[in-house]
Amino acid sequence: MGHSNVEIKATCSDHKKVREFLKSKSADFKGIDHQIDTYFKVNSGRLKLREGNIENNLIYYERENKEGPKESKFIFIKCEPNSELKNILIKTNGVLVVVDKKREIYFIENVKFHIDTVENLGTFIEIEAIDKDGSIGKDKLQTQCQEYMKLLDISENDLISCSYSDLILNIG
């Protein structure tokens, strides 16, 4: 099933401040997930298998690499942990890169917040305004993302235009 969202990713040196803000807004804390994202070699877009203790999905997505709120189109399916799917994808596509992170997951209505600590990269925050059924629209998602950027005091200099996978590939 296809979804769309508008998201930002930014460096974040003060996770405590973000947690306090989310708590003050009565955000729904889903937990801390240790996630291993295996990105596979594909002709277009990105294909990753996310293996975690909360989220386990095969995700295909297309998104521009640009700073600021950006739209992402994606399709995902839930996967069983420790299935043979990973082995099939490795044999058929090959591995591009692996991202290992600890992720705190919060929600305020349709907006998902990630507080991430990514191995070999550092600490980040992601804000994803999600439209599961097309009822919200891109403009509203964009506005939500920008409002939370202001509330969390995320500056333009903190924004990251690409995915963690790109950042890891660039340091390797």
Q: Where are the beta strands (DSSP E) in the chain?
A: 2-11, 28-40, 46-51, 56-63, 70-78, 95-108, 111-118, 122-131
Number of domains in the chain: 1
Per-residue pLDDT, averaged over 13-22, amounts to 95
Q: pLDDT confidence of 172, banded at 50, 70, 90?
A: low
Per-residue pLDDT, averaged over 89-115, amounts to 97
Return the pLDDT at 101. 98
Q: Above 70 in pLDDT, residue 165?
A: yes
pLDDT tens digit sequence for 123-157: 999 999 998 887 888 889 999 999 999 999 999 89
Of 33-42, 70-79, 114-123, the one with minimum mean pLDDT is: 70-79
Per-residue pLDDT, averaged over 28-41, amounts to 97
Return the pLDDT at 27. 97
Per-residue pLDDT, averaged over 156-171, amounts to 92
Q: Above 50 in pLDDT, residue 167?
A: yes
Distance CA 53, CA 116 (A): 15
The winner for highest mean pLDDT among 26-40, 125-139, 158-172 is 26-40
- CB of 42 closer than 8 Å to CB of 72: no
Q: pLDDT confidence of 28, banded at 50, 70, 90?
A: very high
Q: Above 50 in pLDDT, residue 1?
A: no
Q: Above 50 in pLDDT, residue 31?
A: yes
The CATH number assigned to the domain holding 43 equals 2.40.320.10
Domain that holds residue 25: 2-171
DSSP secondary structure letter of residue 54: S
